[in-house]
Structure 1
């Protein structure tokens, strides 16, 4: 076995089964997927479709849609036809909603088999899932654990959450159904992380990671990054959702940033920038803000360093595709592929960098396409 060049960066993912959520593989050696959930009324077909399209553009691999009533599952049927991303139907308590959603084209059903009802009802849901090629997500939440488990353990704890998950797992296994993934979410980071670690040891099914009710955009992102990042670093997790009280598109952005930080998934431009100080040769904060907005359309994985002065600028630029180091007198050094290339002044800096990044992205895309074609021809 060849040792890693930088072993301190190596993450060994937990081996798991692989299931399909529509056309998207989850688990096994598949890339870790990023998902979100719509917050429009499902009966508002046009509004929900528009939001799903925005999520797709942001990079969502999977989108969940709530189906609380018969009107919603009827609308779900029309929504599925207008989007390309696989949709998960979010079902609670009403087993008929699961049947309707499966028939309407759901790629996955988010249920807890234990609260669907009798064994006969669970069998009906499994039969519908099998007939329609649906997978299932078992969703355990610390805030809605079974009463007997709370009485046994006294409070939500990792042991109670894993036992709840195992109960639901057995229900599906008893019906010879294994196309499922599991989540054990909590708003408490310590509880969620401990529960996922225990569940990872107890089964080989793919795991859906999340810190539920994490909070608003800033606080929720930080909290989720700590919890989800901790687990991913340990090799645990196959799909993630960053739960924020914010625009669902922000969940997708945060999810990719977490994955990019750990080198697990690369999409778009990763900006390396300094916090700025009195040494800066230009307004770093404003420049980065504008560039992130102007480069949001780039999906090609690449890196851009924006450093205000020569203390760290050249060193960071050597490690990035495009780099900018602030200089005196409004003239700044531009690096291309780690090599010092030319200077640019303040007035033309942003437009120039956008052009360089777009050109580099096109070159990288062309090289990747050529490599893929050559591989296919072998």
Structure 2
């Protein structure tokens, strides 16, 4: 069953299309100091290898703006310049050849400064993201609403959409990020109902790897499940590569991601037989390192209650029991292997997987 998606206009960010029915792209942001070109490019390459489609870099200082040209030229993915406070850095970023500029309406300053950025972006043929953030909302909107309510974020975004329209610029992506997941969802729903601009989803300041992943999965996942969203960034207080990995996991859980192996593992209980924890961890790590592109569901199950049924329902699966396991392929038992050979057997089955359905084999 195909999930309906909100219709949005297409925006081109380098060689990546956002909106217009394009696949949902995954973004991240470097933690390296942008003026350190070597460190920034090394991090960007790691992010690209992990699956980042677009990478954003911070530009808080003149030396960061000066480094952008070298970063753009050395990057394997489109670069977005993240601009706060100083519109001159946005102009320098556009001159340097970035693929997109993110501006924060809450701190960019005067409308005439914003106009200069819009005209420069239009001439260069690049889009702009209007990046509203609950932590830096305009003072008059805070006074009006008393708190960064969803309506306040929506009003801020639309205020600057109107400025863009007034100057003939509509090559826009919009985000209305909030640290409160419920408010974030409501703000994006307002935008989705009343505009057709592509939406960049994210929960801002979501926290550590553990809590941030949960908040992001709820906020981003709830919207994507409703067909809302065109590109995502998971914000985590950890290694930026983890943001990309979690982003792809969210997409995969909703059947929106790139082809790849999806691991299913049973919950823990007293029925568990064998060392399922180690098996799951080893298979997940090996799958991550080998970067399999085969689109497979692999079920690793630990008992005779749900194990055979769940394993049989996956493309590949194992069901543990008394020191051995049955290996299933599309519902048919093809091998019985000792417990200490399960990881190797699963990885070999993934490696050699072909679409034709295997013939059944009677277990020993």
Q: Please, what TM-score do these two structures have when normalized by structure 2?
A: 0.92
CA deviation vs aligned residue, 1:218-273 (integer Å, no higher than 9, x gap): 11111111111111112111111111111111111111111111122234211000
- State the Cα distance separating 1:348 from its structure 2 match: 2.0
Question: For 1:349, which of 334, 342, 346 is the aligned residue?
Answer: 342
CA distance in 2, matches of 1:119, 1:274: 55
- State the Cα distance separating 1:157 from its structure 2 match: 0.9
CA distance in 1, matches of 2:213, 2:231: 16
Confirm or deny that 1:337 pairs with 2:333: no
Q: What residue number does 2:128 align with?
A: 136
Confirm or deny that 1:359 pairs with 2:352: yes
Q: Indicate the larger mover: 113-122 or 166-175.
A: 113-122
CA distance in 2, matches of 1:350, 1:131: 55
Paired positions, count: 353
User: Secondary structure of the equivalent of 1:57?
Assistant: helix
CA deviation vs aligned residue, 1:26-61 (integer Å, no higher than 9, x gap): 112111111110001111111111111111111111
Structure 1: gaps spanning 5 or more residues: 5-9, 365-378
- State the Cα distance separating 1:113 from its structure 2 match: 5.1
Q: What residue number does 1:7 align with?
A: none
Structure 2 contact 106–137 (Cα < 8 Å) conserved: no
Structure 2: gaps spanning 5 or more residues: 356-364
Confirm or deny that 1:28 pairs with 2:13: no
CA distance in 2, matches of 1:117, 1:275: 52
Confirm or deny that 1:235 pairs with 2:230: no
Q: Please, what TM-score do these two structures have when normalized by structure 1?
A: 0.89
Q: What residue number does 1:323 align with?
A: 317
Structure 1 contact 158–194 (Cα < 8 Å) conserved: yes
- State the Cα distance separating 1:357 from its structure 2 match: 1.3
Confirm or deny that 1:17 pairs with 2:25: no
Q: What residue number does 1:269 align with?
A: 261
Q: Aligned-pair RMSD on alpha carbons?
A: 1.6
Q: What residue number does 1:190 align with?
A: 182
Q: What residue number does 1:376 align with?
A: none
Q: Indicate the larger mover: 210-219 or 336-345.
A: 336-345
CA pair 69-343 structure 1, distance change in 2 beyond 3 A:
same
Confirm or deny that 1:54 pairs with 2:49: no
Q: Indicate the larger mover: 85-94 or 111-120.
A: 111-120
CA distance in 2, matches of 1:112, 1:46: 27
Confirm or deny that 1:303 pairs with 2:297: yes
CA pair 56-161 structure 1, distance change in 2 beyond 3 A:
same
Q: What residue number does 1:367 align with?
A: none
Q: What residue number does 1:126 align with?
A: 118
